Amino acid sequence: MNEKKILLSHGSGGILTRRLIEELFLKEFDNPLLRRLNDQAVFSLPPGRIAFTTDSYVVTPLFFPGGDIGKLAVCGTINDLAVGGAKPEYLSASFIIEEGMEIGELKRVVQSMALTAKEADVEIVTGDTKVVERGKGDRLYINTAGIGVVDNGNSPDPLNIEAGDVIILSGTIGDHAIAILTQREGIELETEMKSDCAPLHRLTEKMLSVEGGGRAIKAMRDATRGGVATVLVEFAVASKTSFVIQEELIPVKKSVRGACELSGFDPLYLANEGKLIAIVAKERADEVLRSMKNQMFGTDAAIIGTVESAKPGTVILETVIGNRRPLEPLTGEQLPRIC
Q: Is the peptide bond before 326 cis (omega within 30 degrees of 0)?
A: no
Whether the CB-CB separation of 307 and 201 falls below 8 Å is answered with no
317 forms beta bridges with: 245, 325
Instruction: From 103, 95, 101, 99, select the one nearest 4 (Cα to Cα).
Output: 103
Q: Which of 72, 81, 292, 315 binds a copy of itself (CB under 8 A)?
A: 81
Instruction: From 262, 73, 271, select the one nearest 180 (Cα to Cα).
Output: 271
Does residue 115 interact with a copy of itself by CB under 8 A?
Answer: no
Does residue 158 interact with a copy of itself by CB under 8 A?
Answer: yes
Residues 6+ apart with CB under 8 A from 204: 82, 83, 85, 220, 276
Does residue 332 interact with a copy of itself by CB under 8 A?
Answer: yes
Is residue 62 left, alpha or beta, with left meaning phi > 0 and alpha meaning psi from -120 to 50? alpha
Does residue 274 interact with a copy of itself by CB under 8 A?
Answer: no
Does residue 80 interact with a copy of itself by CB under 8 A?
Answer: yes
Q: Which of 116, 155, 172, 182 binds a copy of itself (CB under 8 A)?
A: 155
Q: Which of 22, 35, 45, 209 binds a copy of itself (CB under 8 A)?
A: 45
Question: Smallest distance, Å, CB 256 to a copy of itself?
Answer: 18
Does residue 49 interact with a copy of itself by CB under 8 A?
Answer: yes
Does residue 37 interact with a copy of itself by CB under 8 A?
Answer: yes
Q: Which H/E stretch holds residue 230?
A: helix 227-239
Q: Which of 105, 138, 151, 266 binds a copy of itself (CB under 8 A)?
A: 138
Q: Which is nearer to a copy of itself, 46 or 322 (CB)?
A: 46
Q: Which stretch binds a copy of itself (CB under 8 A): 67-75, 151-159, 251-259, 285-293?
A: 151-159
